[in-house]
Chain A
Amino acid sequence: MPSDEVLTEIYNAIIDFDSDRARHTAEKAAQSGMSAYKVVMDGLSPALEEIGKKYESGEYFLSELLLAADTAKSVLDALKPHFQAESRRKPGRVLIGTVEGDLHDIGKNLFSTLAAASGYEVIDLGTDVSPRTFAQKTLQAKPDVVAMSSLLSTTVPKFRETVEELRKQGVRERVEIIIGGAAATQQIANEYGIEGYERDAVAGVKRVTKWLR
């Protein structure tokens, strides 16, 4: 739990899934001169870590995780203008999307919000992202991590095609790749030479943190 009073209030609002209180307190913190980055790293992030632990241990379920992400989003939205004013380099940049042919995005959205709430810059390409788009955006945005999600088994080959396209564009070695979603497995990650596979969004963000911090 954070030591500062206003950060403790944000922490508690997230733990209580109270979006209004979380947003209001985040705005108050930013207006008082606290950096948006500090609000995220010392208020939001520890709260989500606590909720993530409860999810992993089985005390919380997907709906609580979604509630926490929804509450976190209200904080991130409130801080958006302040982030833009701050020139601080974030600890890492994550490019994410569901693979071509797949439109299922609950897990992807959850990962996206949790990663942003952990302080990372997230570039969310949305759903149905072609290998070419993944590679082009990687060239342009220079992320540290490329994250791909897939629910449909038939789209699994797109993981490999995307890895190949990244290689073709000469950026494969610059990024760590992580895959998730119901169609992803550790075996697929091994076969395609992908560094990371995780079963859920909480574990996925943890893995990214291991790589980037």
Chain B
Amino acid sequence: MTERERAMAALDLKIPDRVPIFDIAVDYPIVKAITGKEIALTAQTIENDLKVMAECNSKLGLDFFVYYPGYGISESGKVNYIKEKTYIDSWGAIRKELDFPAYEHLYIGGSIKNEEDYANFHFPDPQKAIDALLDVERTLKEIQEHLLLVGGVVGGFTTGMEMRGVANFLIDCHRNPQFAKRIMDTVYSFNIEIAKAFADIGVDVVLYDDDYADLKGPLLAPKIWRDLVKPYQNSFVKEFRKRGLWAIEHSDGNLNLILDDLIEPGLSGLHPIEPLAMKIGEVKKRYGSRICLIGNVDCGNTMTLGTEEDVRRDVRRCIDEASAGGGHILSASNSLHWQIPVRNVLAMADEAKRYGRYQKNGG
């Protein structure tokens, strides 16, 4: 099977030749170690950067390529430096640069302290993000010849938490829900524009990236979450499933109390099923016939602090618990971030390819 065929089979809950491998992001120090090439993420270098990132995915044996326009720490993402190495990004989040190039800088807090700040805040222009997407359309299409192409957007709940500060936004959801809604409405309109542009250039999958939970459970009471946040996720998934794309939800944390709601609009896959929060075997039993499960290899402790054998053991555990009958895609439980030693990234990919082979009879 080709990478694309393998990835599509799993998303369709069928059995591929081996368990496909996904990652939402491969951090730049890892890309450099795997390819020997630098990436800079500037307007001038972006096409080459994407090719290098895709080369890294292929060398590792990943079957997907994920692209987020208008996000991350590209030039356009940094809006306003407030002190050395610390800046407010285009979505109002305050971040601190690391001492080396990385996919995401350290989140410090929100810059929108009140409604007045919000009234004066200029949201990013979706057209600029669409133009940036169209600039790299040809490159993405080349990548798509080999890998399944995923277009990602970050949902309004996460963006709201980042621009207001997590505690402030969660308190807004109780004390000033109209304000929280205004923020999420604006982000939703942006996301719909971008995802339509994704659909127009022919991406295979849309990824709705919005974090709703911590390790214990949802950040908001399910009833409040259903009233306030669920409508955005449900409409987004419905819209793009209707257009024939697969739709994946990414949310950290323990989602057990709201999983039915997330799946309701016809969700294709759930990522990343954090092992400290959820048991993938139980999710498989409850939802395995309805959605593809993506993730669960522990990148918090095992991949970051463990040995290669620890990582291989964790990969085998995931496959044992979730791969039977298809509908499972192996992935780290968040991303292949800079804190993971490269040897452990290689161990994860190698063990997935070795241990993740399905028998000819489909077992």
- Name A residues whose Cβ lies closer than 8 Å to a Cβ of B: 17, 58, 60-64, 66-67, 70, 103-104, 106, 109-110, 152-154, 156, 182-183, 185, 199-200
Instruction: Return the 10 tightest CB-CB contacts between A and B, nearest first.
Output: A153-B304, A63-B170, A154-B339, A62-B219, A66-B167, A63-B220, A61-B221, A103-B108, A103-B106, A106-B166
Question: Distance in Å from the Cβ of B158 to the closest Cβ of chain A?
Answer: 14
Q: Which of B144-152, B210-218, B281-289 contacts A (4 or more CB under 8 A)?
A: B210-218
Please state if B305 and A153 are interface contacts (CB–CB under 8 Å). Answer: yes
Residue B171 CB within 8 A of the other chain: yes
Question: Distance in Å from the Cβ of B299 to the closest Cβ of chain A?
Answer: 8
13 CB < 8 A contacts A-B: A61-B217, A62-B216, A63-B170, A63-B221, A64-B221, A67-B175, A103-B106, A109-B167, A153-B300, A153-B339, A154-B339, A182-B215, A200-B216
Please state if A154 and B304 are interface contacts (CB–CB under 8 Å). Answer: yes
For B167, B220, B304, which residue has the most chain A Cβ atoms within 10 angstroms?
B167
Question: Distance in Å from the Cβ of A118 to the closest Cβ of chain B?
Answer: 19
Please state if B166 and A103 are interface contacts (CB–CB under 8 Å). Answer: no
Residue B317 CB within 8 A of the other chain: no
Find chain A residues with CB under 8 A from B79 CB. none
Cross-chain contact of A152 among B96, B214, B218, B339 (Cβ < 8 A): B339
A-B contact count (CB 8 A): 59
Find chain B residues with CB under 8 A from A110 CB. 167
Please state if A63 and B171 are interface contacts (CB–CB under 8 Å). Answer: yes
Closest A residue to B302 using CB positions: A153
Query: A67-B174, A182-B214 are known contacts; what are 4 more A-B pairs with Cβ within 8 Å?
Result: A62-B214, A66-B171, A110-B167, A200-B216
Please state if B107 and A104 are interface contacts (CB–CB under 8 Å). Answer: yes
Question: Distance in Å from the Cβ of B165 to the closest Cβ of chain A?
Answer: 9
Alpha-carbon distance A66/B221, docked complex (angstroms): 12
Interface of chain A: mostly helix, strand, loop or mixed: loop
Interface residues of B in 80-137 (CB under 8 A from A): 96, 106-108
Find chain A residues with CB under 8 A from B197 CB. none
Please state if B167 and A106 are interface contacts (CB–CB under 8 Å). Answer: yes
Find chain A residues with CB under 8 A from B201 CB. none
Alpha-carbon distance A185/B301, docked complex (angstroms): 9
Residue B245 CB within 8 A of the other chain: no
Q: Knowing A61-B221, A64-B221, say if A70 contacts B171 (CB, 8 Å).
A: yes
Alpha-carbon distance A104/B218, docked complex (angstroms): 19
Question: Distance in Å from the Cβ of B287 to the closest Cβ of chain A?
Answer: 21
Find chain A residues with CB under 8 A from B305 CB. 153, 156
Please state if A61 and B220 are interface contacts (CB–CB under 8 Å). Answer: yes
Please state if B304 and A103 are interface contacts (CB–CB under 8 Å). Answer: no
Find chain A residues with CB under 8 A from B108 CB. 103
Closest B residue to A19 using CB positions: B175
Question: Distance in Å from the Cβ of A103 to the closest Cβ of chain B?
Answer: 5
Find chain A residues with CB under 8 A from B171 CB. 63, 66-67, 70
Find chain A residues with CB under 8 A from B218 CB. 61
Find chain B residues with CB under 8 A from A152 CB. 339
Please state if A103 and B96 are interface contacts (CB–CB under 8 Å). Answer: yes
Find chain B residues with CB under 8 A from A17 CB. 174-175
Question: Distance in Å from the Cβ of A200 to the closest Cβ of chain B?
Answer: 7
Q: Knowing A17-B174, A103-B96, A153-B305, say if A199 contacts B167 (CB, 8 Å).
A: no
Residue B259 CB within 8 A of the other chain: no
Residue B278 CB within 8 A of the other chain: no
Residue B224 CB within 8 A of the other chain: yes
Question: Distance in Å from the Cβ of A183 to the closest Cβ of chain B?
Answer: 7
Q: Knowing A67-B171, A103-B106, A109-B167, say if A60 contacts B216 (CB, 8 Å).
A: no
